[in-house]
Amino acid sequence: MLGFSVLERGRHLTVRARAKVNLGLEVLGRRADGYHELLTFLAAIDLADRVTLETIQPEAPGSSGIEVACDAPGVPRGRDNLAWRAAELIRREGQVRVGARIRIAKAIPVAAGLGGGSADAAAVLVGLSRLWGLSLAPARLLALATKLGMDVPFFLGQSPALGADRGERLAAVPPHQSLAVVLVNPGFPLPTRDVYARLRPVDFTDGTRVRTLVAALGDGAAAVASRVVNGLEPAALSLWPGLGDVKAALLDAGALGAVMSGSGPTVIGIAASRAAALRIRAALATGGGPRWSVWVARTVAGPVLSIGDGEDAGPAKARRQEAAWGVAKR
């Protein structure tokens, strides 16, 4: 049984899709199929999109019957939305005749290295299969997730996890104490494809650093912070020299370590505590870059997808948190 829970109200269903951070990522090499071989340590954080699903009747015979509504800029509404493609896949898989309306309330920044589109897609796979009573085997659901993207399988399972192959082959990592993190987003996207295209053979490493990081998870925030790694950083830096400034600003403000998440551009600072994270955020509000957005979050263990209206950051909750924490968005 996959670890998730959903809030079901008649033919509506809400799934909370948390963001992920990669606290460790090494690129082991380039595969013959063009993908890269990765070893990555992933954790979910308490920043989440809320995905509401509703069964609808297709307007016309032969139409897809899938509608996506999302008010966030930069998020496609139609077939280019990963959530739309997830709905299409699950609809075909289950040979379902009805359609689906998908409402995405975005809290996860777009094209930020936090897996927002993948999280929404996983929420749709799980939510629609539940809504339509499809009882798919977990292995089948994972296969569909992999078709959508190598980040999607993580969102169907448990946090934290170690991802191998193209990042999609996941192994459980024992839960560790939650880490307080400060996320800094510079306010522009860094396309994943462009970052990978800039990789050079010198960027390929053997996975030792990620394994060392995972072995240190029980030793506290400082031990983790000194072992964070991302082999995509040199490639990202060649596209965005400001990456070094964000990392330096986080460290100057008191972060124990700083690392880019996924293919960026969001940078994660590890803090000693939640109070320290709030101090770092406050310091960046006065000394950070002009368009930086800064969030305080924490890593979360357990199922990545979760009940719609609980403790985490749906947009309403995110807005309350921003008010409480004074998110630096200038």
Q: Which residues are catalytic?
A: 20, 151
Distance of CA 63 to CAs 11, 25, 69, 89, 204, Å?
21, 41, 17, 14, 46
State how far Cα 11 lies from the chain centre. Answer: 27
Any contact of residue 114 with ligand ATP (CB under 6 A)? yes
CA atoms of 35 and 16, how far apart (whole Å): 29
Cβ distance to ligand ATP smaller for residue 24 or 253: 24
By beta-carbon proximity to ligand ATP, the closer residue of 84 and 132 is: 84
**What's the closest the beta carbon of residue 19 comes to ligand ATP, in angstroms?**
8
Residue of the chain from 24, 65, 99, 116 that contacts ligand ATP (CB under 6 A)? 116
Angle at 18 between CA 16 and CA 19, to 5 degrees: 150
> What is the total residue count of the chain?
330
Mask of contacts with ligand ATP, 185-204, x by CB under 6 A? ----x--x------------
CA–CA dist 223, 285 (Å, integer):
27
Distance of alpha carbon 108 from alpha carbon 104, whole angstroms: 11
Type of residue at 162: L
Q: Please state the closest distance from residue 314 (CB atom) to ligand ATP, in A.
A: 15
Beta bridge partners of 41: 24, 162
Stretch that binds ligand ATP, among 117-125, 178-186, 230-238, 311-319 (CB under 6 A): 117-125
* Burial group, residue 13, by CB count within 10 angstroms (0-12, 13-18, 19+): buried
Among 14, 52, 81, 299, interactor with ligand ATP by CB under 6 A: 81
- CB of residue 46 to ligand ATP, shortest distance in Å: 17
Kindly state the DSSP code that residue 213 receives in the 8-state scheme.
H
According to CB under 6 A, which residues from 130 to 159 bind ligand ATP? 149, 151
Cβ proximity to ligand ATP: between 75 and 131 the closer is 75
Shortest gap between Cβ of 279 and ligand ATP (angstroms)?
27
Distance CA 71, CA 113 (A): 20
Give the residue at shortest CB distance from ligand ATP: 117
Question: Closest distance between ligand ATP and the C-beta of residue 74, in Å?
Answer: 6
Choosing from 24, 65, 99, 113, the residue that interacts with ligand ATP (CB under 6 A) is: 113
> Is residue 273 classed exposed, middle or buried when 0-12, 13-18 and 19+ CB atoms within 10 A define those classes?
exposed
Give the residue with the Cβ less far from ligand ATP, 185 or 272: 185
d(CA 195, CA 261): 12
Is 22 a binding residue for ligand ATP by CB under 6 A? The answer is: no
Residues that bind ligand ATP (CB under 6 A): 74-76, 80-83, 104, 110-118, 120, 149, 151, 189, 192, 262-263
